[in-house]
C-alpha cells in the first residue's frame, strides 16, 4: 500500500467508525476491531505520565460487545447522541503490516432535551491492520482526550 | 441535636436523622457556610496520596472545599500544605497540578515562597535606583498563606484548618481505621486520574456513596452478575460521630436467590460474553469482595474486587461538583493482577458500568427538587439511628453523614 492509498483507506475506516457510533448502530461498533485488540479511553495527562488505567479498557472484542449489551440492557442514562468530526490521519511508520496513525477528533454531544455541548476533543492513537479477508481493523485504538474532565458520564463509546 | 439551633432563612429541620430538607442542597447561603463550617471546620479533608509526593520538592495541587491548596514534601521529609493564594494580591501561587520544584513563585509579581509556604522574597523589595519598593518596616514573616495542618493515614494525606480537629484515628474511629489499613496495607502506585463533573450538590453524591440500599437496585450490573446483592452477607460500620463509614459485601451470593424477583435490576437474561474480568483475585485475605469507605466530608476509598480507587468530592457551586478519581494499585503488583485492575476499572469512573449511574442519579434528584424547598426526604430504612448494622438494607450510614453535618453546621 502506498501512503496515498493508506490514507484513503484509513480515512474511510475512521469515517465509517464515526458514522456507526453517531447513527447509534453500536452493535456494529466492535466489528471495527480485531478479535484480539486494545481499546482504551484515557487522557493526555495519563498518557504522558504512562498511567495505564483508562475509563474504558478492553483487551478483546468480546469486552466491546459486552459494553454495548450493558448500554442497551443494563445501564441507566439519559438519551443522548454524539456527532464525531474526525480529521485527516497522520501516518507513522508501518511496522510489519501494521499501520500506525494519529487522528484528531471532536465530539459534540446532544442530550435528550436538546442541550448541545463540545463533549470531547483529542486524538485517536491507532494501530491498524488487515484481517484475513483484507479488511482494515483496529488492533489498537487509544482514545486520548485532551481534557481530564468528563461531564457526568461517558456512556456511548468515543 | 433536638432542634435547629440556628435561625434558618430557608426553612427548618425536624429533630432526628430520618428527614432531610431539600433546601440544604439548593441554598447558596448554606453552600457559603459549608466552606467555613464544614471544609474549613474541625474535619479532616483528603488532599492527596503520600505516593504523589515522595521526594523533597514534590508537590500536588488540591482543594479544601473550594479553597485551592498546595501540598508539598519539604526539605526535612515532612509534608506541608498551604492555601494556594499569594499574600500580595491573591493570585494562585502554583498553576500546575503536580510536579517537582525548589520553591514556588507567584507569576504575577514574582513573590517567592519556600516549600512550606513561607514568603521568602519580594521582587524589587528595595525599589529601583533608590526609589519605590516596600516600606522599610514591612515584615515578610507577618504575611503568609493560610497554613493547613497535615496528618497521614496509611499513605493518605489529610489536612485541616482547625486547631481543634481531633487526631485522625479518633476522628474516624478504630473500626474504620482498621478498614482503611485493610486496603492500604502496602505501598500504593497511581495508575490513572480522571475528573467527573457531576450536575448536583456535593452532599447528594456523598449520600449516594454511603447508601448501601441503592447499589443492587440501581446498578443492574452488580445484581445480575451477583457482585453484590443485599441477600449476600455483609453490613455497614458507622463511626460513633457519624463521620466515617465502611460498607462490606461478603462471600458468595446464595445459589437460588429469589429476593429480587420482579425488580428491574434482576434481569437474568443479561450475560457477559467475556466474564473473565470478574474473576478477581482474593488479595486481602478475607471474604470481603467489596468495601466502600467514606470520611466526612468528601473522601471515598473504594475496593471492588481488585479495583481500587480514591475519590475526592469537591463542591463547585450549589448544584455542581467535581469528583476526582485516583485509580491505584500496589507498587509490587504482579502483571496479571495489574491487568485485572485495568479491566475491573470498567466498573467505575465516568464510563463505569456502575459509577455512570451514580453520576446521573444525583442530577435526577437535583432537578427533581427544583421547587421542593419546603419538602423533606425520607431516610428511614433500618430505623432512625446512625449505627453499625449487619445488613445493607439500611440507610444508617446516610444518617451518619447528616449526624456529622448537622454537628459542624449547627443545624
Is it the case that residue B262 has pLDDT exceeding 70? no
The CATH number linked to B303 is 3.90.380.10
- Does some domain include residue B262? yes
CATH class of A3-145: alpha beta
What single DSSP character describes residue A152?
A: S
Label residue B259 by pLDDT band (50, 70, 90): low
- Does some domain include residue B209? yes
Residues B179 and B141 in one domain: no
Say yes or no for a CB contact (<8 Å) between B352 and A55. Answer: yes
- Does some domain include residue B76? yes
The CATH number linked to B142 is 2.102.10.10
A44 touching chain B per CB within 8 A: no
Instruction: Print the SS3 string covering chain B.
Output: CCCCCCCCCCCCCCCCCCEEEHHHHCCHHHHHHHHHHHHCCCCCEEEEEHHHCCCCCEEEEEEECCEEEEEEECCCCCEEEEECCCCCCCCCCCCCCEEECCCEECCCCCCEECCCCCEEECCCCCCECCECCCCCCCCHHHCCCCEEEEEEECCEEEEECCCCCCCHHHHHHHHHHHHHHHHCCCCEEEEEEEEEEECCCHHHHHHHHHCCCCHHHHCHHHHHCCCCCCCCEEEEEECCCCCEEEEEEECCCCCCCCCCCCCCCCCCCCCCCCHHHHCCCCCCCCCEEEEEEEECCCEEEEEECCEEEEEEEEECCCCCEEEEEEEEEECCCCHHHHHHHHHHHHHCCCCCCCHHHHHHHHHHHHHHCCCCCCCEEECCCCCCCCCCECCCCCCHHHHHHHHHHHHHHCC
Identify the residue with better confidence: B215 or B50.
B50
A57 touching chain B per CB within 8 A: yes
Q: Which residues of B touch A45 (CB under 8 A)?
A: 97, 193
Label residue B268 by pLDDT band (50, 70, 90): low
Say yes or no for a CB contact (<8 Å) between A53 and B343. Answer: no
CA distance B184 to chain A (A): 19
Residues B82 and B179 in one domain: no
Number of neighbouring beta carbons within 10 Å of residue B255 = 6
Label residue B3 by pLDDT band (50, 70, 90): very low
Say yes or no for a CB contact (<8 Å) between B193 and A56. Answer: no
- Does some domain include residue B9? no
Residues B129 and B176 in one domain: no
Label residue B213 by pLDDT band (50, 70, 90): confident
The strand pair at A56-58 and A80-86 is best described as: unpaired
Domain range for B72 is: 45-151
CA distance B139 to B154: 39
Mean per-residue pLDDT for B342-371?
92
Phi, psi for B172 (deg, rounded to 5)? -100, -10
Residues B366 and B262 in one domain: yes
Mean per-residue pLDDT for B321-335?
97
Residues B217 and B313 in one domain: yes
CA-to-CA separations, A65 to A18, A53, A72, B90, B298, in angstroms, rounded: 17, 20, 11, 51, 35
Q: Which class for B390: exposed (0-12), middle (13-18), buried (19 or more C-beta within 10 A)? A: exposed
A75 touching chain B per CB within 8 A: yes
Nearest to A148 among B193, B346, B352 (CB): B193
Number of neighbouring beta carbons within 10 Å of residue B23 = 21
Smallest CA–CA distance from A157 into chain B, residue: B351
Q: A41 in helix, strand or coil?
A: strand
Nearest to B351 among A43, A55, A73 (CB): A55
pLDDT digits (tens, 9 = 90+) for B20-58: 999 999 999 999 999 999 999 999 999 999 999 999 999
Q: Which residues of A touch B351 (CB under 8 A)?
A: 41, 55-56, 150, 153-155
Instruction: Provide the pLDDT for residue A75.
Output: 86
A48 touching chain B per CB within 8 A: no
How many separate domains does chain B show?
A: 2
In total, the C-beta contacts within 8 angstroms joining chain A to chain B are 118
B279 touching chain A per CB within 8 A: no
Q: Which residues of A touch B272 (CB under 8 A)?
A: 66, 69
Q: A91 in helix, strand or coil?
A: strand
Domain ranges of chain A: 3-145
- Does some domain include residue B162? no
Are B33 and B400 a contacting pair, CB within 8 Å?
A: no
Range in A34-48, B99-113, B245-259 the model is least confident about: B245-259
Residues B176 and B306 in one domain: yes
Mean per-residue pLDDT for B180-187?
97
CA distance A22 to chain B (A): 18
Is it the case that residue B404 has pLDDT exceeding 50? yes
- Does some domain include residue B26? no
Is it the case that residue B4 has pLDDT exceeding 50? no
Is it the case that residue B63 has pLDDT exceeding 70? yes
Instruction: Provide the pLDDT for residue A154.
Output: 94
Residues B263 and B388 in one domain: yes
Number of neighbouring beta carbons within 10 Å of residue B270 = 18
- Does some domain include residue B167? no
Mean per-residue pLDDT for B202-220?
90
Instruction: Provide the pLDDT for residue B129.
Output: 92
> Which of B71, B98, B335, B50 has the alpha carbon at shortest distance from A45?
B98
Label residue B5 by pLDDT band (50, 70, 90): very low
- Does some domain include residue B29? no
Domain final position from B84, B117, B151: B151
Amino acid at each position: 500500500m502506498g501512503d496515498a492509498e493508506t490514507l484513503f483507506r484509513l480515512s474511510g475506516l475512521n469515517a465509517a467508525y464515526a458514522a456507526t457510533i453517531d447513527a447509534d448502530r453500536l452493535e456494529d461498533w466492535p466489528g471495527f476491531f480485531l478479535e484480539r485488540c486494545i481499546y482504551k479511553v484515557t487522557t493526555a495527562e495519563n498518557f504522558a505520565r504512562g498511567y495505564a488505567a483508562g475509563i474504558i479498557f478492553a483487551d478483546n472484542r468480546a469486552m466491546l460487545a459486552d459494553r454495548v449489551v450493558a448500554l442497551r440492557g443494563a445501564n441507566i442514562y439519559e438519551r443522548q447522541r454524539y456527532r464525531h468530526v474526525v480529521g485527516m490521519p497522520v501516518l507513522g511508520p508501518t511496522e510489519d503490516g501494521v499501520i500506525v496513525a494519529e487522528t484528531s477528533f471532536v465530539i459534540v454531544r446532544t442530550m435528550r432535551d436538546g442541550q448541545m455541548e463540545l463533549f470531547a476533543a483529542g486524538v485517536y492513537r491507532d494501530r491498524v491492520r488487515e484481517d484475513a479477508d483484507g479488511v482494515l481493523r483496529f488492533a489498537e485504538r487509544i482514545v486520548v482526550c485532551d481534557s481530564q474532565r468528563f461531564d457526568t458520564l461517558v456512556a456511548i463509546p468515543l | 441535636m433536638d432542634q435547629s439551633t440556628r435561625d434558618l432563612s430557608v426553612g427548618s429541620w425536624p429533630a432526628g436523622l430520618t428527614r432531610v430538607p431539600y433546601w440544604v442542597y439548593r441554598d447558596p447561603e448554606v453552600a457559603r457556610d459549608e466552606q467555613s463550617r464544614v471544609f474549613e471546620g474541625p474535619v479532616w479533608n483528603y488532599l492527596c496520596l503520600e505516593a504523589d509526593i515522595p521526594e523533597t520538592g514534590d508537590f500536588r495541587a488540591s482543594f479544601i472545599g473550594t479553597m485551592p491548596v498546595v501540598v508539598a514534601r519539604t526539605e526535612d521529609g515532612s509534608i506541608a500544605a498551604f492555601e494556594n493564594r499569594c499574600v500580595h494580591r491573591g493570585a494562585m501561587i502554583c498553576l500546575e497540578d503536580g510536579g517537582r520544584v525548589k520553591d514556588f513563585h507567584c507569576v504575577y509579581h514574582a513573590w517567592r515562597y519556600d516549600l512550606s509556604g513561607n514568603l521568602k522574597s519580594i521582587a524589587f523589595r528595595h525599589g529601583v535606583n533608590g526609589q519605590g519598593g516596600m516600606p522599610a518596616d514591612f515584615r515578610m514573616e507577618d504575611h503568609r498563606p493560610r497554613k493547613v495542618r497535615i496528618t497521614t493515614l496509611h499513605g493518605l494525606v489529610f489536612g485541616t484548618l482547625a486547631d481543634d480537629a481531633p487526631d485522625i484515628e479518633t476522628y474516624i474511629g478504630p473500626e474504620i481505621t482498621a478498614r482503611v489499613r485493610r486496603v492500604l496495607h502496602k505501598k500504593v502506585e497511581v495508575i490513572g486520574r480522571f475528573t467527573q463533573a457531576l450536575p448536583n450538590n456535593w452532599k447528594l453524591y456523598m449520600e449516594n456513596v454511603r447508601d448501601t440500599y441503592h447499589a443492587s437496585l440501581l446498578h443492574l450490573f452488580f445484581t445480575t452478575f451477583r457482585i453484590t446483592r443485599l441477600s449476600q452477607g455483609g453490613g455497614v460500620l458507622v463511626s460513633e460521630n457519624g463521620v466515617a463509614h465502611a460498607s462490606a459485601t461478603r462471600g458468595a451470593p446464595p445459589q437460588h436467590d429469589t429476593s429480587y424477583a420482579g425488580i428491574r435490576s434482576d434481569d437474568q437474561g443479561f450475560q457477559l460474553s467475556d466474564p473473565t474480568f470478574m474473576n478477581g483475585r482474593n488479595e486481602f485475605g478475607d471474604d470481603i469482595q467489596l468495601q466502600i469507605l467514606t470520611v466526612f466530608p468528601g473522601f471515598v476509598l473504594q475496593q471492588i474486587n481488585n479495583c481500587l480507587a480514591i475519590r475526592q468530592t469537591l463542591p463547585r457551586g450549589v448544584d455542581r461538583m467535581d469528583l476526582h478519581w485516583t485509580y491505584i494499585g500496589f507498587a509490587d503488583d504482579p502483571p496479571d493482577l495489574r491487568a485485572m485492575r485495568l479491566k475491573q476499572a470498567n466498573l467505575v469512573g465516568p464510563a463505569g458500568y456502575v459509577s455512570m449511574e451514580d453520576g446521573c442519579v444525583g442530577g435526577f434528584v437535583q432537578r427533581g427538587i427544583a421547587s421542593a424547598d419546603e419538602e423533606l426526604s425520607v431516610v428511614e430504612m433500618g430505623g432512625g439511628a446512625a449505627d453499625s448494622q449487619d445488613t445493607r438494607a439500611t440507610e444508617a450510614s446516610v444518617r451518619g453523614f447528616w449526624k456529622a453535618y448537622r454537628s459542624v453546621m449547627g443545624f
